[in-house]
């Protein structure tokens, strides 16, 4: 139960931090924000790696390896496409 | 002292560094100047988190994990390099879906791997080491993991199929149905949610009081059938998939930015739920940052349409009985014009504002728009700005990315609230492929479906040029009195061709 409370605390505080920062992001960067935050949600990759470790049978292992693939697409593709987009934003002159 | 600095502590410290870098990276996105660095910091944070997880001695099966990472990186890099900027909404929708399915799979793997016992024994990246089996805390930890796994499956499943439907709509795939395709869809959705919640309950009770497997079951199947939780979980996922389809299918067109932002939020919340499954704080922090980001974007999009989220998700939008018909609004008042005539107007214009909408993306007119703006500024000394409505296009910031791709500096892209006070000093406003976001009915008719929606005051400019293929209504399905206004001229043409024609005429002048 204690772990749950600690984790919930982290969850709620992180949401507040998120609100504080993201309300300051200008509309012109909203698309890169979406693709970039999408790459961040690829953090599930950590979960996939942890569950595919351990001494598990073939079925959970297969699921976890598939999760590794999808999450990596998210991470690598997300950060790369965000970088591509952001490099296009230029000031006058 | 040495015992305190265990591998586990080092890993958790590295996760903390990663979490801080994620926050710092997002902070970088608050200005275009620092945004590139912010994104790279986010990528660095991810790299740190992945490397320390792999470095942990307890994680085995390197070959499979590394193989998965190589395959995923190759596909991700291919998609990121190949995509056209006009295809960005589709790509973002697809990525949301991938985030969703990853969470579904991780939670499933956890449930099937002996109820995650190995994770509880060996909580890689947990807050601290547990060896709980046999202690009262064990069932609490199991319950937390199972509830979170069910939540991951539910949110992740809705995100996956919802994103695929959104992708289908954005990519214009024909067989994706338009509008509500089932009778009593709201009731069906409610029933599905109730069944899913019941299955979540069964999963939890089953994990805590496992039913015995048949003795003759093989070792591999025993893991699945020791409890029925695997089956219940499959049920949760299937219902989540159906819900993803039934929730997103009725929504379309101009409401797409809301859906994309909401699914973005879900993909983050699914990741956070997965963090609760495996007791991992970096998943929770990163996931909730993304969840918050998506929610903020959702609310910005809803406000920009003066509609509630509930209204966007469940109400059908259409002309109300009080709305004037197209014939009443347009009859005899439409003035059609040509490229030459527009060129003549622009020659003398000092201030020009271009108001883009989804139509600009469809006709890929952004480069032609830039050429015209450059010509007006260099040859005729005009000042050209762009007025961007928050919901123009099919996702938040859609127009900004397209115009940035055409090398238009970002300080020329003006927000609606910022440019509206100056619209009465504008000589020529050019509306390309936008409709509802410049419809003055939003200000005047309280009964119209877009009543109260903030609009760009294009009608206040001295002359308004509307480039559009026909008089067809926008997403709201109502006629636009702006097209019939005294100061408005219609140029019926494809956006890109229209701009090229104007440029030709200006060059000859």
Taking only the tens place, the pLDDT of each residue in B448-483 is: 888 889 999 999 999 999 999 888 888 888 899 999
Taking only the tens place, the pLDDT of each residue in B290-328 is: 999 999 999 999 998 888 888 887 766 555 555 677 778
Q: Give me the helix-helix angle, B281-303 and B256-277, nearest 10°.
A: 160
In this predicted model, which residue has the larger pLDDT, B386 or B170? B386
How close does chain B come to A75, measured CA to CA in Å?
Answer: 8
Average pLDDT over residues B354-379: 93
Token couple for B370: 């830039």
| Predicted pLDDT of residue B102 | 95
| Predicted pLDDT of residue A61 | 85
What are the boundaries of each domain within chain B?
A: 1-82, 89-125+140-314, 326-508
- Whether the pLDDT of residue B223 is over 60: the answer is no
* Residues of B in Cβ contact (< 8 Å) with A66: 68, 105
Which of B88, B95, B259, B385 has the most A C-beta neighbours within 10 Å, making it the best mutation to test the interface with A?
A: B95
Please calculate the CA angle B243-B244-B246 and round it to the nearest 5 degrees.
Answer: 60
**Half-sphere exposure at residue B169, Cβ-oriented, CA atoms within 13 angstroms:** 26
How close does chain B come to A9, measured CA to CA in Å?
Answer: 10
Of B225, B234, B267, nearest in space to B150 by CA: B234
| Predicted pLDDT of residue B292 | 94
Taking only the tens place, the pLDDT of each residue in B145-200 is: 888 999 999 999 999 999 999 999 888 887 777 766 667 778 888 899 999 999 98
pTM above 0.95, yes or no: no
Active site residue B436: yes
CB contact under 8 A, A38 and B96: yes
- Distance between CA atoms of B360 and B127, rounded to whole angstroms? 50
Active-site residue (options: B206, B436, B445, B494): B436
pLDDT above 70 covers a percentage of chain B that reads 87
Closest CB to B410: pick one of A38, A84, A90. Answer: A90
* Residues of B in Cβ contact (< 8 Å) with A45: 46, 50, 69, 102
| Predicted pLDDT of residue B85 | 86
Q: How many CB atoms lie within 10 A of CB B13?
A: 12
| Predicted pLDDT of residue A55 | 64
Average pLDDT over residues A16-40: 94
Does residue B491 contact residue B465 with C-beta atoms inside 8 Å? yes
How close does chain A come to B484, measured CA to CA in Å?
Answer: 31
Q: What is the dihedral of CA B55, B57, B62, B65, to 10 degrees?
A: -60
Q: Which residue of A has its CA nearest to B45?
A: A40
- Distance between CA atoms of B378 and B338, rounded to whole angstroms? 23
| Predicted pLDDT of residue B122 | 43
pLDDT band at B256 (very low <50, low <70, confident <90, very high): confident
- Distance between CA atoms of B296 and B26, rounded to whole angstroms? 14
- Distance between CA atoms of B257 and B248, rounded to whole angstroms? 12
CB contact under 8 A, A50 and B278: yes
* Residues of A in Cβ contact (< 8 Å) with B159: none
Of B186, B141, B402, B414, nearest in space to B310 by CA: B186
CB contact under 8 A, B223 and A61: no
A5-9, A58-62, B114-118, B435-439: range with lowest mean pLDDT: B114-118
Q: Find out if CATH 3.30.70.260 is the number for domain B326-508.
A: no
Q: Which residue of A has its CA nearest to B139?
A: A1
Q: What is the mean pLDDT of chain B?
A: 85
Helices (H), B184-255: 185-208, 219-225, 229-248
pLDDT above 70 covers a percentage of chain A that reads 94
* Residues of A in Cβ contact (< 8 Å) with B418: none
**Distance of alpha carbon B58 from the chain centroid:** 37
- Distance between CA atoms of A72 and B103, rounded to whole angstroms? 12
For chains A and B, count residue pairs whose Cβ atoms are closer than 8 Å: 409
- Whether the pLDDT of residue A92 is over 80: the answer is no
Token couple for B240: 């989540």
CB contact under 8 A, A44 and B283: yes
* Residues of B in Cβ contact (< 8 Å) with A30: 297, 300, 395-397, 400
* Residues of B in Cβ contact (< 8 Å) with A46: 49-50, 53, 125, 280, 282-283
CB contact under 8 A, B401 and A46: no
């Amino acid at each position: 139960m204690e772990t749950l409370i600690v984790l919930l605390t982290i969850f709620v505080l992180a949401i507040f931090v998120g609100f504080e920062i993201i309300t300051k992001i200008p509309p012109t960067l909203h698309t890169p924000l979406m693709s970039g935050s999408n790459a961040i949600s690829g953090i599930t990759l950590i979960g996939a790696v942890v569950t595919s470790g351990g001494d598990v049978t073939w079925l959970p292992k297969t699921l976890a390896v598939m999760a590794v693939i999808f999450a990596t697409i998210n991470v690598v593709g997300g950060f790369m496409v965000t970088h591509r987009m952001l490099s296009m934003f230029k000031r006058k002159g | 002292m040495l015992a305190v600095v265990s591998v586990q502590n080092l890993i958790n410290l590295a996760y903390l560094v990663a979490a801080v870098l994620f926050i710092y990276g997002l902070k970088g996105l608050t200005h275009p100047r620092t945004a590139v660095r912010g994104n790279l910091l986010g990528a660095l944070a991810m790299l740190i988190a992945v490397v320390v997880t792999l470095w942990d001695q307890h994680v085995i099966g390197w070959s499979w994990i590394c193989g998965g990472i190589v395959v995923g990186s190759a596909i991700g890099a291919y998609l990121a390099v190949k995509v056209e900027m006009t295809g960005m909404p589709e790509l973002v929708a697809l990525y949301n879906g991938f985030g969703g399915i990853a969470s579904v799979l991780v939670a499933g793997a956890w449930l099937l791997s002996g109820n995650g016992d190995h994770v509880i024994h060996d909580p890689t990246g947990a807050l601290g080491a547990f060896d709980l089996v046999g202690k009262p805390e064990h069932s609490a930890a199991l319950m937390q993991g199972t509830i979170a796994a069910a939540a991951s499956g539910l949110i992740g499943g809705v995100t996956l199929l919802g994103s695929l439907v959104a992708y289908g709509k954005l990519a214009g795939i024909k067989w994706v149905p338009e509008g509500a395709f089932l009778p009593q869809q709201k009731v069906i959705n409610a029933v599905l949610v109730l069944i899913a919640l019941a299955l979540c309950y069964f999963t939890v009770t089953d994990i805590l009081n496992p039913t015995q497997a048949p003795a003759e079951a093989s070792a591999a199947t025993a893991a699945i059938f020791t409890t029925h939780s695997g089956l219940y979980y499959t049920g949760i996922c299937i219902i989540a998939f159906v819900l993803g389809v039934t929730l997103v299918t009725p929504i379309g067109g101009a409401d797409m930015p809301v859906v994309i932002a909401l699914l973005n939020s879900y993909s983050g919340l699914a990741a956070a739920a997965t963090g609760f499954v495996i007791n991992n704080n970096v998943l929770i922090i990163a996931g909730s940052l993304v969840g918050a980001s998506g929610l903020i974007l959702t609310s910005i999009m809803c406000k920009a349409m003066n509609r509630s989220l509930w209204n966007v998700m469940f109400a059908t939008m259409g002309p109300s009985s009080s709305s004037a018909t197209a014939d009443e609004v347009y009859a005899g008042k439409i003035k059609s014009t040509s490229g030459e005539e527009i060129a003549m107007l622009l020659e003398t214009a000092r201030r020009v504002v271009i108001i883009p909408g989804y139509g600009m993306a469809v006709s890929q007119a952004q480069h032609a728009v830039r050429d015209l703006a450059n010509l007006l500024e260099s040859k005729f000394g005009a000042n050209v700005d762009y007025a961007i409505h928050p919901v123009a296009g099919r996702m938040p910031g859609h127009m900004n990315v397209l115009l940035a791709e055409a090398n238009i500096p970002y300080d020329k892209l003006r927000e609606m609230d910022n440019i509206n006070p100056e619209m009465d000093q504008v000589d020529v406003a050019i509306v390309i492929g936008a409709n509802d976001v410049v419809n003055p009915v939003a200000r005047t008719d309280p009964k119209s479906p877009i009543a109260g929606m903030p609009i760009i005051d294009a009608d206040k400019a001295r002359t308004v040029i509307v480039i559009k293929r026909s008089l067809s209504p926008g997403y709201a399905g109502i006629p636009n009195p702006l097209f019939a206004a005294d100061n408005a001229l219609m140029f019926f043409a494809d956006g890109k061709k229209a701009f090229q024609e104007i440029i030709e005429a200006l060059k000859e002048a």
